[in-house]
Amino acid sequence: MGGKIFAHRGASQLAPENTMPAFELAYQLKADAIETDVQLTKDRIPVLFHDIRLNRTTNQKGYIKDFTYEQLTKLDAGSWFSKKYIGTSIVSLEDFLKWVEDKPLMINLELKNHKIAYKHLEEIVLEMIEYFQMEERIILSSFNPASVQRLAKMTHIQTAFLTSKRRTDLVEYAQSLGATALHIQYRLLRGNIVEQSRNRNMPLRVYTVNKRRQLLRCFQKKCDGIITDVPHKAQRIRNLFRI
Ligand code: G3P
Ligand code: CA
Protein backbone atom coordinates (compact mmCIF):
# COMPACT_ATOMS: atom_id res chain seq x y z
CA MET A 1 0.00 0.00 0.00
CA GLY A 2 1.16 3.52 -0.83
CA GLY A 3 1.27 6.67 1.26
CA LYS A 4 -1.06 6.95 4.21
CA ILE A 5 -4.21 9.04 3.80
CA PHE A 6 -4.73 11.69 6.49
CA ALA A 7 -8.19 13.26 6.65
CA HIS A 8 -7.47 16.99 7.01
CA ARG A 9 -9.54 18.40 9.92
CA GLY A 10 -11.54 15.17 9.44
CA ALA A 11 -13.35 14.61 6.15
CA SER A 12 -13.65 18.38 5.91
CA GLN A 13 -15.09 18.64 2.43
CA LEU A 14 -18.12 16.62 3.52
CA ALA A 15 -18.76 17.85 7.07
CA PRO A 16 -17.78 20.86 9.23
CA GLU A 17 -14.04 20.80 9.87
CA ASN A 18 -12.67 19.56 13.20
CA THR A 19 -16.06 18.35 14.46
CA MET A 20 -17.24 14.86 15.37
CA PRO A 21 -19.26 14.42 12.13
CA ALA A 22 -16.08 15.15 10.10
CA PHE A 23 -14.05 12.71 12.23
CA GLU A 24 -16.77 10.02 12.04
CA LEU A 25 -16.90 10.36 8.27
CA ALA A 26 -13.12 10.09 8.00
CA TYR A 27 -13.33 6.83 9.94
CA GLN A 28 -16.22 5.49 7.84
CA LEU A 29 -14.42 6.42 4.62
CA LYS A 30 -11.45 4.39 5.85
CA ALA A 31 -8.87 7.13 6.10
CA ASP A 32 -5.67 5.82 7.68
CA ALA A 33 -5.35 8.86 9.92
CA ILE A 34 -6.96 12.10 11.06
CA GLU A 35 -5.20 15.47 11.11
CA THR A 36 -6.58 18.07 13.50
CA ASP A 37 -5.59 21.39 15.12
CA VAL A 38 -5.12 21.99 18.84
CA GLN A 39 -5.51 25.31 20.69
CA LEU A 40 -6.17 26.30 24.30
CA THR A 41 -9.26 27.88 25.83
CA LYS A 42 -9.12 30.66 28.45
CA ASP A 43 -9.16 27.97 31.16
CA ARG A 44 -6.39 26.05 29.33
CA ILE A 45 -8.45 23.14 27.99
CA PRO A 46 -7.11 21.81 24.67
CA VAL A 47 -9.75 21.99 21.95
CA LEU A 48 -9.73 21.15 18.25
CA PHE A 49 -10.09 24.29 16.17
CA HIS A 50 -8.32 25.72 13.15
CA ASP A 51 -8.64 29.53 13.14
CA ILE A 52 -7.50 31.61 16.10
CA ARG A 53 -10.86 33.41 15.87
CA LEU A 54 -14.28 31.84 16.16
CA ASN A 55 -15.82 34.03 13.44
CA ARG A 56 -15.60 31.82 10.32
CA THR A 57 -16.88 28.52 11.67
CA THR A 58 -19.12 29.33 14.64
CA ASN A 59 -21.99 31.62 15.60
CA GLN A 60 -19.71 33.69 17.87
CA LYS A 61 -17.03 36.33 17.26
CA GLY A 62 -13.68 36.68 19.02
CA TYR A 63 -10.61 34.68 19.88
CA ILE A 64 -10.81 31.10 21.08
CA LYS A 65 -8.28 31.96 23.84
CA ASP A 66 -10.76 34.43 25.39
CA PHE A 67 -13.55 31.90 26.00
CA THR A 68 -13.77 29.19 28.64
CA TYR A 69 -14.36 25.60 27.56
CA GLU A 70 -17.84 25.74 29.09
CA GLN A 71 -18.67 28.82 26.97
CA LEU A 72 -17.32 27.18 23.82
CA THR A 73 -19.43 24.03 24.30
CA LYS A 74 -22.55 26.20 23.84
CA LEU A 75 -21.52 27.45 20.38
CA ASP A 76 -22.71 26.12 17.04
CA ALA A 77 -19.75 24.99 14.94
CA GLY A 78 -21.80 23.25 12.27
CA SER A 79 -24.45 25.52 10.77
CA TRP A 80 -21.91 27.66 8.82
CA PHE A 81 -21.28 24.52 6.79
CA SER A 82 -24.84 23.33 6.30
CA LYS A 83 -28.23 23.34 8.07
CA LYS A 84 -27.81 19.60 8.45
CA TYR A 85 -25.12 20.24 11.06
CA ILE A 86 -26.93 22.81 13.25
CA GLY A 87 -25.97 22.27 16.89
CA THR A 88 -22.65 20.57 16.19
CA SER A 89 -20.18 21.61 18.87
CA ILE A 90 -16.48 22.28 19.27
CA VAL A 91 -14.63 19.14 20.39
CA SER A 92 -12.12 18.90 23.23
CA LEU A 93 -8.90 16.94 22.69
CA GLU A 94 -9.96 14.67 25.54
CA ASP A 95 -13.29 13.75 23.93
CA PHE A 96 -11.58 13.18 20.59
CA LEU A 97 -8.98 10.84 22.08
CA LYS A 98 -11.73 8.96 23.95
CA TRP A 99 -13.57 8.48 20.65
CA VAL A 100 -10.51 7.42 18.68
CA GLU A 101 -9.17 5.08 21.38
CA ASP A 102 -10.78 1.88 20.02
CA LYS A 103 -10.37 2.75 16.32
CA PRO A 104 -7.42 1.79 14.14
CA LEU A 105 -6.57 5.37 13.20
CA MET A 106 -3.31 7.28 13.35
CA ILE A 107 -3.62 10.84 14.61
CA ASN A 108 -1.76 14.00 13.62
CA LEU A 109 -2.17 16.70 16.24
CA GLU A 110 -1.08 20.03 14.86
CA LEU A 111 -0.24 22.39 17.69
CA LYS A 112 -1.65 25.70 16.44
CA ASN A 113 0.90 27.92 18.12
CA HIS A 114 2.50 29.91 15.32
CA LYS A 115 0.12 32.87 15.57
CA ILE A 116 -0.61 32.70 19.29
CA ALA A 117 2.18 31.22 21.40
CA TYR A 118 -0.04 29.33 23.85
CA LYS A 119 2.05 28.89 26.98
CA HIS A 120 2.52 25.23 27.98
CA LEU A 121 0.51 23.91 25.04
CA GLU A 122 3.16 21.23 24.50
CA GLU A 123 3.03 20.04 28.14
CA ILE A 124 -0.77 20.01 28.23
CA VAL A 125 -1.06 17.98 25.01
CA LEU A 126 1.70 15.56 26.04
CA GLU A 127 0.02 14.90 29.40
CA MET A 128 -3.23 14.09 27.64
CA ILE A 129 -1.50 11.70 25.22
CA GLU A 130 0.27 10.02 28.10
CA TYR A 131 -3.01 9.59 29.98
CA PHE A 132 -4.50 7.77 26.98
CA GLN A 133 -1.22 5.91 26.28
CA MET A 134 -1.41 6.80 22.62
CA GLU A 135 2.23 7.75 22.07
CA GLU A 136 2.71 5.23 19.24
CA ARG A 137 -0.31 6.39 17.24
CA ILE A 138 0.32 10.09 17.35
CA ILE A 139 2.32 12.45 15.19
CA LEU A 140 2.73 15.97 16.54
CA SER A 141 3.37 18.88 14.20
CA SER A 142 3.82 22.63 14.30
CA PHE A 143 4.66 25.56 12.04
CA ASN A 144 6.47 27.07 15.04
CA PRO A 145 10.18 26.06 15.00
CA ALA A 146 10.60 26.87 18.71
CA SER A 147 7.70 24.57 19.57
CA VAL A 148 9.23 21.75 17.51
CA GLN A 149 12.50 22.28 19.41
CA ARG A 150 10.69 22.16 22.76
CA LEU A 151 8.81 19.01 21.78
CA ALA A 152 12.04 17.30 20.68
CA LYS A 153 13.45 17.85 24.17
CA MET A 154 10.29 16.69 25.92
CA THR A 155 9.16 13.57 24.05
CA HIS A 156 10.02 10.70 21.75
CA ILE A 157 6.65 11.00 19.99
CA GLN A 158 7.15 11.57 16.26
CA THR A 159 7.22 15.32 15.69
CA ALA A 160 6.97 16.99 12.30
CA PHE A 161 8.11 20.45 11.30
CA LEU A 162 5.27 21.88 9.27
CA THR A 163 6.02 24.44 6.59
CA SER A 164 4.94 26.24 3.46
CA LYS A 165 8.20 28.19 3.12
CA ARG A 166 10.81 27.33 0.53
CA ARG A 167 14.39 26.78 1.58
CA THR A 168 17.02 24.62 -0.09
CA ASP A 169 18.18 22.97 3.14
CA LEU A 170 14.66 22.26 4.42
CA VAL A 171 15.16 18.61 5.40
CA GLU A 172 18.42 19.40 7.13
CA TYR A 173 16.85 22.41 8.85
CA ALA A 174 13.90 20.36 10.13
CA GLN A 175 16.28 17.76 11.49
CA SER A 176 18.37 20.45 13.16
CA LEU A 177 15.25 21.54 15.08
CA GLY A 178 14.90 17.99 16.36
CA ALA A 179 11.96 17.12 14.10
CA THR A 180 11.64 13.46 13.14
CA ALA A 181 9.29 14.11 10.20
CA LEU A 182 8.53 16.84 7.71
CA HIS A 183 5.08 18.06 6.61
CA ILE A 184 5.21 20.33 3.57
CA GLN A 185 2.75 22.31 1.54
CA TYR A 186 2.18 20.68 -1.86
CA ARG A 187 4.07 23.41 -3.78
CA LEU A 188 7.28 22.38 -1.96
CA LEU A 189 7.11 18.88 -3.44
CA ARG A 190 9.86 19.50 -5.99
CA GLY A 191 13.52 18.81 -6.70
CA ASN A 192 14.85 15.91 -4.69
CA ILE A 193 13.02 16.54 -1.42
CA VAL A 194 11.64 13.00 -1.38
CA GLU A 195 15.14 11.50 -1.71
CA GLN A 196 16.58 13.95 0.81
CA SER A 197 13.99 13.09 3.43
CA ARG A 198 14.40 9.38 2.76
CA ASN A 199 18.18 9.66 3.13
CA ARG A 200 17.70 11.30 6.49
CA ASN A 201 15.04 8.83 7.55
CA MET A 202 12.41 11.55 7.91
CA PRO A 203 8.86 10.61 6.87
CA LEU A 204 7.60 13.20 4.37
CA ARG A 205 3.92 14.13 4.28
CA VAL A 206 2.23 16.66 2.03
CA TYR A 207 -0.74 19.01 2.62
CA THR A 208 -3.43 19.90 1.51
CA VAL A 209 -3.79 17.68 -1.52
CA ASN A 210 -7.28 17.52 -3.00
CA LYS A 211 -6.90 17.45 -6.78
CA ARG A 212 -6.73 14.13 -8.58
CA ARG A 213 -3.54 15.00 -10.48
CA GLN A 214 -1.81 16.16 -7.31
CA LEU A 215 -2.93 13.15 -5.30
CA LEU A 216 -1.62 10.85 -8.01
CA ARG A 217 1.71 12.67 -8.09
CA CYS A 218 2.12 12.33 -4.31
CA PHE A 219 1.40 8.60 -4.46
CA GLN A 220 3.75 8.11 -7.41
CA LYS A 221 6.53 9.97 -5.62
CA LYS A 222 5.94 7.67 -2.67
CA CYS A 223 5.31 10.38 -0.11
CA ASP A 224 4.73 8.80 3.28
CA GLY A 225 1.49 10.65 3.88
CA ILE A 226 -1.06 12.79 2.07
CA ILE A 227 -3.14 15.22 4.09
CA THR A 228 -6.41 15.75 2.25
CA ASP A 229 -9.95 17.11 2.67
CA VAL A 230 -11.17 14.26 0.43
CA PRO A 231 -9.96 10.96 1.90
CA HIS A 232 -12.54 8.99 -0.17
CA LYS A 233 -11.13 10.42 -3.43
CA ALA A 234 -7.57 9.68 -2.31
CA GLN A 235 -8.56 6.09 -1.48
CA ARG A 236 -10.06 5.62 -4.96
CA ILE A 237 -6.91 6.86 -6.64
CA ARG A 238 -4.66 4.74 -4.46
CA ASN A 239 -6.78 1.62 -5.18
CA LEU A 240 -7.25 2.31 -8.87
CA PHE A 241 -3.58 2.62 -9.59
CA ARG A 242 -2.62 0.00 -6.98
CA ILE A 243 -0.06 2.43 -5.70
O1 G3P B 1 -1.17 19.87 8.99
C2 G3P B 1 -1.25 20.29 7.68
C3 G3P B 1 -2.15 21.47 7.48
O4 G3P B 1 -3.31 21.29 8.23
C5 G3P B 1 -1.52 22.78 7.87
O6 G3P B 1 -2.26 23.88 7.49
O7 G3P B 1 -3.74 25.77 7.91
O8 G3P B 1 -4.71 23.60 7.23
O9 G3P B 1 -3.76 23.88 9.50
P10 G3P B 1 -3.68 24.30 8.05
CA1 CA C 1 -3.82 21.78 10.46
Interval 87-108: pLDDT, tens: 999 999 999 999 999 999 999 9
Rounded distance from Cα 242 to ligand 1 centre (Å): 27
Rounded distance from Cα 183 to ligand 1 centre (Å): 9
The terminus-to-terminus CA distance of the chain in angstroms comes to: 6
Ligand nearest to the CA of 228: 1
Rounded distance from Cα 130 to ligand 1 centre (Å): 24
**How far apart are alpha carbons 129 and 96 in whole angstroms?**
11
Ligand 1 probe mutation, 4, 12, 18, 35, most atoms within 8 A of CB: 35
Residues that are catalytic: 8, 50
**How far apart are alpha carbons 29 and 193 in whole angstroms?**
30
Q: How many Cα atoms occupy the beta-carbon half-sphere of 115 within 13 Å? A: 13
On average, the pLDDT of the chain sits at 97
207 close to ligand 1 (CB < 6 Angstrom):
yes
Compare 29 and 243 and report the one with higher pLDDT: 29
This prediction has a pTM of 0.98
At residue 243, does pLDDT exceed 90? no
Over the stretch 130-174, which tens digit does the pLDDT of each residue have?
Answer: 999 999 999 999 999 999 999 999 999 999 999 999 999 999 999
> What are the extents of the domains in the chain?
4-42+103-240
Strand (E) positions, the chain?
4-8, 33-40, 46-48, 91-92, 106-111, 138-142, 158-163, 181-185, 204-207, 225-228
Residue 223 one-letter amino acid? C
Q: Which residue is closest in CA terms to ligand 1's atom 4?
A: 8
What pLDDT does residue 140 have? 99
- Please report the atom of ligand 1 found closest to the CA of residue 9: 4
At residue 1, does pLDDT exceed 80? no
At residue 40, does pLDDT exceed 80? yes
Segment 30-50 mean pLDDT? 98
Ligand nearest to the CA of 183: 1
183 close to ligand 1 (CB < 6 Angstrom):
yes
- Please report the atom of ligand 1 found closest to the CA of residue 8: 4
Q: Report the Cα 28 to chain-centroid distance in Å.
A: 18
110 close to ligand 1 (CB < 6 Angstrom):
yes
Q: How many Cα atoms occupy the beta-carbon half-sphere of 124 within 13 Å? A: 18
Please state the CATH superfamily assignment of the domain spanning residues 4-42+103-240 in this structure. Answer: Phosphatidylinositol (PI) phosphodiesterase (3.20.20.190)
- Residue 135 has phi, psi (to 5 degrees) of -50, -40
At residue 207, does pLDDT exceed 80? yes
Ligand 1 probe mutation, 56, 143, 162, 165, most atoms within 8 A of CB: 162
Which of 44, 51, 212, 193 is closest to 182 using CA atoms?
193
At residue 242, does pLDDT exceed 80? no
Q: Which residue is closest in CA terms to ligand 1's atom 2?
A: 207
**How far apart are alpha carbons 138 and 122 in whole angstroms?**
14
Q: Which residue is closest in CA terms to ligand 1's atom 10?
A: 50
